[in-house]
Structure 1
C-alpha cells in the first residue's frame, strides 16, 4: 500500500522501479548470507520470503534481514566453536573481512598432512581409472560426452585428495589464531595460522630489547587481555565476533543548492580506491617504481629539511586503508594485486634468509625489477587523512604534498580510475553527497538539459536515476581525476560534444519520463 501511494500519481510506474521499491529493505536469495544459512533454515526460523509471480526471481527476496544476520552469526559462531578443539588461542568471526585483514600478522608455515592408507588406495584407484579411459579413447579427436564428464569427476576427486590440510607446530598453534568468515559464493572460509605481534615468544622480544624475562613476567599470561562482553571463550580459545563499522546514514539534504566540499569520510574511501589502483599500476610498472624509489631516496639523502608527506612509504611499510568501501576487496584491481602477490609468494623461499638471498642473487634483471615493483607497490599511500594541527599524524602541508606526489605517479603510470573499475553508484557515491553534487555529475556527463530533468526529484530518486544515466559515461569525481587532465589537457566531460543547456539535442531522458509516455510524446519532449 505504501508503494501504491508513492507511485499512483507518479510518472515512474515501470515494473523494475516498483520491484525496487518493494524489495529495497529485503535480501536476495542469491545473497551469500542467504546461501550460507539456506532459505529452508531461514523459513524454519520464521522468516518470510517474497516471490515474484510474473517473472523469474532467482529464489525471491528474504524479508527479514535482521533474522538472516542473526542466523549467519549463530552459524559462524557454531563453526568457530567446533574449530576451538584444534587448540587455537583466538578465533575471529566476521561476516565480511576487510581487505588487508591479516595486516601485521605472521602466517604460520604448516606441513601437508600425509594421506591415510585408505586415501592412498582411493587415489590410486581414481588415477588408474583416469589413465585407462585416456588410453582407451586416445585415438579419437574428441572424448564422448559421458567419458569427458567422467574424466572431470575423476580429476575433481583426485584434487580433493591431493589438497591436504596443513599440520602446524602445537606450540605455535597455542599462540596463533583463525579467521572464520563467508566466501564470495556463500561458502564457509577458514584462514588458519596467524600470530599477532603481542603473541610472539617473550624470549625473542627480550633478546631483541636486551631485557630479561623476569622484568615483564613469565609465560603466556603476559599480554593476554580480559574478555570483552562480545567475546566468547571455548576450551581456552577466545572467539571474537567481528562486525563492520557503521557509517553515518545518508539523509535527505536540505541544502541551498550550493556546492559544498565532499564529506571527509567519502574522500577517504575514494582515495582508498585510488591508492589500491596505484598499487596495481606500480606493481606492473617496474621502471616507474624504480624512479619513484630513487626520488624518495634522493629526497631523504640530499634535502636537509624534513620531507614528510610523500605518497611512498619507502620502508616498505604496508599501508592499511582504515576507511574503505565494502566492495573494495572485490574490485578488479584488488584481484590483480592479490593474484600477482600470490604468484611471487609461491616462488619465493621465505623460510630462511640465506636461501632467500641466494635466490635473489640469481634472478635475472627483469625479474628483480618486477619483484622490486611488487614490493614497492605496497608502500603506496595516496590516502586522504584527517589533518591534526597538534603534530600527531599528517600536517596540512604534508597532506597537500602527498596528493601532489600521488598525481605525479598517476600521470607516470597513466592511471585511469574508469579502467580500474570505479563507477558512481548510489551506495558508493551518489547517496553520500548533496543533491547539488548529483546534478553537477549529470551535468558534466550528459549536459545541462538532462540535469534539469532531474532537479525536481527527491534525493533517493535523483541518485537512482543519476546512477543509470552515469553508467558507462566515464565520469569521475574531482578527487579521482588526474590533475594533469583536469588542468585543461582535455575538455571536460560533455563540452565540445553538442551539449548545450538551451539545445539538448541528444538528451538521454530519465526512465520516469519515458516509461509511461507514448512514443510521439517522448519524441516531442526530446525535440523541445
Structure 2
C-alpha cells in the first residue's frame, strides 16, 4: 500500500542491509532531493509504536533529515512510502533486493543528459549544484558529449572504456578522433588510453622514439609522413609530425612480425603491442603455461668450464700483490668480459612441451630501441565459460541415457550456488585432515601432469624454483645424488590415470608410506637456494629448519679445490687453515702458490694430509660459515661420519631423509 507518512515518523530499521555509505554520494543525493524533491518512494514497515521502520531508502531518509535541519524541509514533510506487512525475515530480503539490483548510468547517457540540461539554459555550475557534483565532473561529461559520433557510440555500447573515451577527448578535432578510432579498431592489439592519447594529440615525436626506429624514415616518408628538422638536429632529435600515421605504420609492422614469428616458432598466435610491456588488457583471459629454461648444450657446458678456468687465472693475477698495473687492468677487463659471456650463456630462453606449443601464444613487445622482442612467457586461451543468453545460463541436467532437463539460471544465481556448494565441500574437507593432506600432496605432485587448459580446482601451488644459476647441478655431491635416488624410488603408478579424477583415486590407494614419501618430495623440491650470510641469499627460516633437524653439513658437503678453494682468495684459504690448526698450520702454506695451496687445502679438509689427530678431526668437521645451518660452529673433536657411508633408508642410528619422509 502506498501512503504519505510524516518525515518525523520514519526511523531507521535494524534490518536494513546497507551499513556503510559514501559521503560524496550522500551529498549528491541531498542536493538532488533539494532541487527536485523525492523522486522514488521509500519502503517501510509499521511498528507497534506508530513509527515506520525504513527497510529501503535509509540514505534518502537521512538526506531529508539533513535538509530539515537546514530548514529546507519541514520536519513533518510528507514522504511517499510503500508500506509492507511482511515478516522481519522478508523485510531483510526486500532491503537486499532494493539495494543490490541497481545499474549505474552509462557515462554516455550521463553526458547526453547533462548536455540537454545545458542546452536548455542551465549553467554548468547550476547542474553541478543541483546534482551535488563538482563542476569538473560535469565539464568532463560534457566533453564526452562532443566526441566524434563513432567514438561516442562505442562508449555507449561498451565497446571502449571510459578511460579510452577520455583519451580520445585529448583533442577536440573530431576528424582526428574518427581516423584514430578506425586505426585502433582495425588493429590486432587492444587499444589502451596511453596509445590512443599519443595518436590523437597533434604534437610530434622524436626520431629516437621506438615507433620511429621500428618504421624507419624511408617507409614513413613514402607513406606521406612529414619530418621537421632544425639546423642542428640529427636523426634522433628530428620531429616526426604525423603521429597517427606513424602509430598506424608501426602497428602494421608489429602485426607482420607477429604473424611471421608465430609461423616460425610453431605457435598458435603472437599478439603485438607498441608498449615495452604486456599490459593487463592484453593478457586478460589468458593463462600462463608451464615452461622450463632450455637445457644447455655440451658445447655451452664446455665453454662455461673454460670460462671458469680463465676466471680463476685472472683472479690469481688480482690476488698477487706483485702483479704489474697493466696486468691487473687487463685481468679486470677479462673478468668483466667473462662474467658477461657467462650471463649470456646462462640466460636460457624458456622451452614449452611440444604438445602444448601448437595451442600456445606469446606477446611481442616493442623495446626502447625500436626492436620487436618476444616476451619469454607462453600463454594459452582459457576454456570458454558457459555462454550467457538474455535470460541467463543454460544448465543441462541428467545422467547419460536419461532424459536431459534444461534449466536457465541467472549468472548471479550460478555464482551464488557455486560458492555455497564450495563451502559445503570445504567444511567436509576441513573435518577430514587425512583427505585434506591427500588433496594437498596430490595437487602439488600432479602439477607436472595437470592439463593447463582446465580450470584448477584449488589455489594450491608449489612451483619448483629455478635457482640462481640455470642448469647447475652438483651431481657428485652426496645430497644431490641422494635426492635423485629418493626421486627415483617414489611410487608413480598413480600417474597412469587419464585425468585428475582417476589419478587422485589411484594416489589415495597408495600405501601410507608411499604417499608420505610424496609429501616429503613435493615440499623438498620447493625450497629456495640459501646461505647463512647477509644479503639476498639469506633465508633465516631455512637456517632454523636446519638447526631444528640437526643437520651436520660436514657429513654432506666437503670443500674441495674444484667446488671451493679454487674459487676463493688465498687469504680465505689461509684463514680456514688457521681455524682448524692455528697459525702453526697456516704458516706452513703461507708461501705456497694459490693453485698448489688449493690442492693442499683439499687434502687437509678431506683428512688425507698428514697432521695431528686433533687438527684432522677439526678439519673433517669444518665447513665455511655460509654453509652452516644456524650460527653455532661445529664442536672440536666431534665424530666424523662419511656421507658416502650413510646409506639412505638403511642407517638405523641417524634420521635419514627417507626416514623423515616415511
TM superposition score category, shorter chain reference: 0.3 to 0.5
Ranked by relative contact order (alpha carbons within 8 Å, sequence separation 6 or more), the top structure is 1
The structure with the larger Rg is 2
TM-score if structure 2 supplies the norm length?
Answer: 0.27
TM-score if structure 1 supplies the norm length?
Answer: 0.33
